[in-house]
Structure 1
Amino acid sequence: MSVPSRRTILALLSTACVFANSAARTQATANSSKGFSYDDVVERAKALANQPFDAESSKIPAELSKLTYDSYREIRFRRDKAFWRDGGSDYRLLPFHLGFLHDKPVQVHIINHGNAIPIPFTTGLFEYGKVPVPKGLSPALGFAGFAVTTNLNDPKIQDEVISFLGASYFRLIGRGHRYGLSARSLALDVGGKQPEEFPFMRALWVEEPSRDATDLVIYALLDSPSVAGAYRYVVSPGRETSVDVTATIIPRNDIERLGIAPLTSMFQAGEGDLTQRSDFRPEIHDSDGLMMQSGSGEWIWRPIRNPKALRISSFGDKNPRGFGLMQRDRDFGSYQDLEARYEARPGYWVTPQGDWGDGRIDLIEIPTTNEAFDNVVACWTPNKPLPSGQPAEFRYRITAVSTTWHLHSYAQAQQSFNGSDVEDGVTDGKGTKRFIVDFAGGDLAYYQSEPDRVELVATTTSGSIVSKILTFNSPLKGVRVIVDATLPDGQSAELRIFLKSRKRTLSETWTATWSVPADELLAHPPRK
């Protein structure tokens, strides 16, 4: 996982990004249909992949890399220098200064009338506060990335809608959202046997928006020791901001674990995780579940947990219809955090486009005792490694959502109580565990008067289901299910639960994994 603290990066985003309310440096014009395009970025990526990786060109001056967290926060983009301020467009462009953790220079360009014009670095674009203004920095220095603001929540107010900052990370938010999880352009060897490799952006291009433009087009050139790539992002701000991504990936060599459309989030504690709480707050997380729609159309919900050890869960599929890390619980009372406001964090839903073939959705969960660091990753991993030197294209859409109710019409898992990912106790020489899940929505309210028509289906890949209980949950106008399972020593299992009425499926499938570590049962005396 990434070394930088997520609280650090969020703080830097909030301080480095400003509302653009004054004069800008460029005039907005209509985009030309000719000139610089995605094809140009692809050609640059191909040329880059044919060359050895150049680590030296990605270094910055020592005086910038030595900046501390506090000193970097002093540096802010000047309000009166926001690009496109005078052109009539609803968009503003605000570059980030290099320094501190952001030590990979990115060349930022504006595409005007088809011509890609680099933005020269100058200290005049920034306010430095108590930090001495750097001297002698080259106009070709570059930036750490940029943020884009627009009239997202109010026609009269500029709010940030997307930002590119750090490696290949980017964040997008919709109306009423606060920054939470991140998207990445590519993930390499995350959760693998060797250290994770972090690709980064060498250059970014932004098509200057016309006065009437509703979408914003961004291009990126990605690089790392193992891969080069070209990216196109079409940003559509709104209640649910979306980004259409086109990625052309060119491996320099074989990559064991290549993650497409990776999402990165944080989960420390949820409902029922009493041992993970570090203070008064009931829950601490940016996302509480992985949601999937398989290629066959099945809807699946996998609650996120803070495991005792690194855990990788894989869901094999062919041409998945969608997946995402979601924040279903939107109740402030579940978090009680006036600063973080976890209930306002968005979920990201990925909709693949075209043929993605055979592969799996990987969920990587890393133990944590600190909410400052991301510890959850979800991504698509192709079964076959991409051939070295051969371009491979992937297309998908990422949408920032507040709720998952509109994604399908079935009942959804609202909360689950199964604690840790290991056994609760021992009975008759086997590990035992109880799973409690509350379903609501869909047509469950219709069956309140005749509950016998609702059937609880529970299956396990190992061990056995000991008992099943289904009770209607009047406050939720839904159903509570209780499943007891057993598992032999040294085994792990995936449990799947869903509701049906005769041949009709009533709910999404709730799934979770648990295990009984080898020799663990010897540490627990049998219950009488």
Structure 2
Amino acid sequence: MSHSPERREFLGTLGLAGLLWLAGAAPGSAAQRAAGLRLGEPRPFSFEALTEQARRLAAAPYEPPYRPAPEIVQKIDYQTHGQIRFRAEDALFAEGPGVYPATFFHLGMFFPKKVTMHVVRDGAASEILYDPAYFDMPADSIARQLPQDAGFAGFRFQESRHRKDWKTQDWVAFLGASYFRAIGELGQYGLSARGIAIDTAVPGPEEFPDFKAFWIAPAPSEADPALVYALLDGPSLAGAYAFKLWRTEGVVMEIETRLFLRKAVQRLGIAPLTSMYWYSETDRDSAHDWRPEVHDSDGLAIWTGGGERLWRPLNNPPVPVTSSFVDKGPRGFGLLQRDRNFDHFLDGVHYELRPSVWVEPLDDWGDGAVQLVELNTDDEIHDNIGAFWVPAQASGPGVAYSFRYRLHWLADQPYPPKEIAQCVATRRGRGGEPGKPRPQGVEKFVVEFAGGPLEELDGDAKVTPVLDSSRGEISYVFVERIPGTRRWRVQFDLTAPGREPAELRGFLRLGKRPLTETWLYQYRPPAIARSANAG
């Protein structure tokens, strides 16, 4: 997981790096001038050639990426980096032919590795040669001491150059290891995606491969996608990536990845998402802040290969927790922000506007599992949530994978079910009946659902809750339509003595007809939290 300075100006404390000779320009080659940038000599380029380059790279020993002048880069801290701005007039495609100009990030202590950039036109690629003159910075900035070949850290696409504000507004950014993010339809950045996740939350260190080089092709019009190609490299694997990026009401990305392993990994995460969840109305006991809620995402949604819709509210557990949802041929999954009420956050950074991101497989992913990783955090500056697909296929040296999928950066999932309602709130408190002493060791749950067929039901409809727990006893169950609304809620008590978590599952039905998606929740008794905090 990443640990990133708030307010998402950075994407992680992990850097970018790398040099790649394929389709690049050799040092000292003749340079051309285009849209304010110096370019190397053009060389043939294709995604197939990039794939072969990744295959050959994986067959050779791993070489750590180049870090220019680390003693200087480490002094370019958050504040110093924020004072360094790429000159918009030098943006790639500032005057066409692409409709979305591309600007570039400077190196810094959080992004210390050089990333090679290329522009692709008519089947040929030219390296974009770094020049410190592309950046405005204070006269006394330590960054002025970097060598002339220091290079870029990442890039982003600005809004259409036909907009008057394009120089100050961007919609997608690639920065930090294999991290990238996009703006949602509500005008906000939030959670991030990654090219790959390797050994997240397993014994031993997590591995963060780098996008070592990018190739950027223009989008002829706002209806066309911008094209980006990337080379990934890390100790365990190398890979080639192709991105098609559409600026819609939010952002839609079509991604093809071809991966080649150098060695076995314990947990290979495909289409990984990384987010932040500190606390919400579900777990007010963990709140140590004045705001009612603080989170970029509040739940994991899954559409299984069998057609079931699942909703798992997020937790901030005292110890690392990995939940695995075994499936075959998943239809999609995502980390969503369903709470859109400003009064639930009261924060000027507008968590209620953070995007939801949905992963849509474009081919059969076979057997595997959607895995959710939840780490403890005591602040909003840490991304402590991860979700990804883990294929059942064993990994090892020489094993190759190929995946195609879309990422939808929207306000909600792109294919919401119309035939069932969604879970919109999970609340907890002390169990027992009103007016009577509250028993120890009994937890009360109130789960709310809205939309779908619930909109048409009268308050006296014979709605039945279906509830189950992996351990303990469920009691004091009743269901009702919430007065003054079209929402319904189910309330129940759980008695689960001991220290082990309890896995809860429930939905509402009318007769034999399901009315809602399936609500899942991992309840950790307070004794677990006390024990973990004591340790």
TM-score category of the 2 structures, normalised to the smaller one: 0.7 to 0.9
Q: Which has the larger displacement, 274-283 or 394-403?
A: 274-283
Aligned: 1:167 with 2:167: no
| Residue pair 2:304, 2:331 contacting (<8 A) in 1 also | yes
Q: Which amino acid aligns with 2:117?
A: V
SS in 1 for 2:484: helix
Distance in 1, matches of 2:379 and 2:211, equals 28
Give the CA deviation at 1:64: 2.1
Counterpart among 158, 165, 172 of residue 157 in structure 1: 165
Q: Which TM-score applies when normalising by structure 1? A: 0.88
Q: Which has the larger displacement, 178-187 or 2-11?
A: 2-11
Q: Which amino acid aligns with 2:387?
A: A
Q: Which amino acid aligns with 2:388?
A: C
Counterpart among 308, 311, 319 of residue 301 in structure 1: 311
Q: Which TM-score applies when normalising by structure 2? A: 0.87
Q: Which amino acid aligns with 1:459?
A: D
- Unaligned runs of at least 5 residues, structure 1: 14-22, 421-426, 523-528
| Residue pair 1:89, 1:212 contacting (<8 A) in 2 also | no
| Residue pair 2:160, 2:222 contacting (<8 A) in 1 also | no
Q: Give CA deviations for 1:164-194 in whole Å, capped at 9, x if unaligned.
A: 0000000011333211100011001111111
SS in 2 for 1:407: coil
Distance in 2, matches of 1:167 and 1:388, equals 22
Alignment correspondent of 2:521: 512
Distance in 1, matches of 2:528 and 2:415, equals 45
Distance in 1, matches of 2:311 and 2:12, equals 33
Q: Give CA deviations for 1:282-308 in whole Å, capped at 9, x if unaligned.
A: 110000111110110100110112112
Aligned: 1:291 with 2:309: no
Aligned: 1:25 with 2:36: yes
Alignment correspondent of 1:526: none
Give the CA deviation at 1:239: 0.5
Distance in 2, matches of 1:405 and 1:236, equals 14
Distance in 1, matches of 2:224 and 2:328, equals 34
Alignment correspondent of 1:7: 7
- Unaligned runs of at least 5 residues, structure 2: 14-33, 431-436
- CA gap of 1:113–1:165, structure 2 versus 1, over 3 A, is same
Counterpart among 209, 224, 243 of residue 253 in structure 2: 243
Counterpart among 244, 264, 285 of residue 275 in structure 1: 285
Distance in 1, matches of 2:367 and 2:69, equals 41
RMSD: 2.8
SS in 1 for 2:516: coil
Distance in 2, matches of 1:382 and 1:231, equals 18
Distance in 1, matches of 2:102 and 2:364, equals 34
Q: Give CA deviations for 1:65-86 in whole Å, capped at 9, x if unaligned.
A: 3322211211110122111111
- CA gap of 1:392–1:289, structure 2 versus 1, over 3 A, is same
Give the CA deviation at 1:310: 1.6
Equivalenced residues, count = 498
Distance in 2, matches of 1:260 and 1:504, equals 34
- CA gap of 1:505–1:148, structure 2 versus 1, over 3 A, is same
1:46-65 matches, cutoff 5 A:
46-55=55-64, 57-58=66-67, 60-65=69-74
Distance in 2, matches of 1:382 and 1:294, equals 14
Distance in 1, matches of 2:61 and 2:69, equals 20
Give the CA deviation at 1:438: 0.8
SS in 2 for 1:275: helix
Alignment correspondent of 1:365: 374
Q: Give CA deviations for 1:449-507 in whole Å, capped at 9, x if unaligned.
A: 5322x111111222332232101113331211112222242433211110111221110
- CA gap of 1:56–1:328, structure 2 versus 1, over 3 A, is closer
| Residue pair 1:234, 1:244 contacting (<8 A) in 2 also | yes
SS in 2 for 1:467: strand
Aligned: 1:311 with 2:321: yes
Distance in 2, matches of 1:59 and 1:244, equals 33
Alignment correspondent of 2:199: 189
SS in 1 for 2:129: coil
1:123-522 matches, cutoff 5 A:
123-129=132-138, 130-132=140-142, 134-135=144-145, 137-139=147-149, 141-151=150-160, 155-158=163-166, 159-210=169-220, 214-338=224-348, 340-404=349-413, 407-409=416-418, 410-418=420-428, 431-452=441-462, 454-516=463-525
Give the CA deviation at 1:311: 1.6
SS in 1 for 2:443: strand
Distance in 2, matches of 1:294 and 1:467, equals 31
Q: Which amino acid aligns with 2:7?
A: R
Q: Which amino acid aligns with 1:236?
A: W
Q: Which amino acid aligns with 1:397?
A: R
Give the CA deviation at 1:155: 4.3
Alignment correspondent of 1:424: none
- CA gap of 1:162–1:319, structure 2 versus 1, over 3 A, is same
Sequence identity of aligned pairs in percent? 37
Q: Give CA deviations for 1:319-357 in whole Å, capped at 9, x if unaligned.
A: 11110000001111111011x110111010000121211
| Residue pair 1:88, 1:211 contacting (<8 A) in 2 also | no
Give the CA deviation at 1:2: 2.2
| Residue pair 2:506, 2:520 contacting (<8 A) in 1 also | yes
Distance in 1, matches of 2:121 and 2:294, equals 44
Distance in 2, matches of 1:431 and 1:42, equals 57
Q: Which has the larger displacement, 180-189 or 270-279?
A: 270-279
Give the CA deviation at 1:213: 6.0
Distance in 2, matches of 1:449 and 1:471, equals 7
SS in 2 for 1:313: strand
Distance in 2, matches of 1:160 and 1:173, equals 8
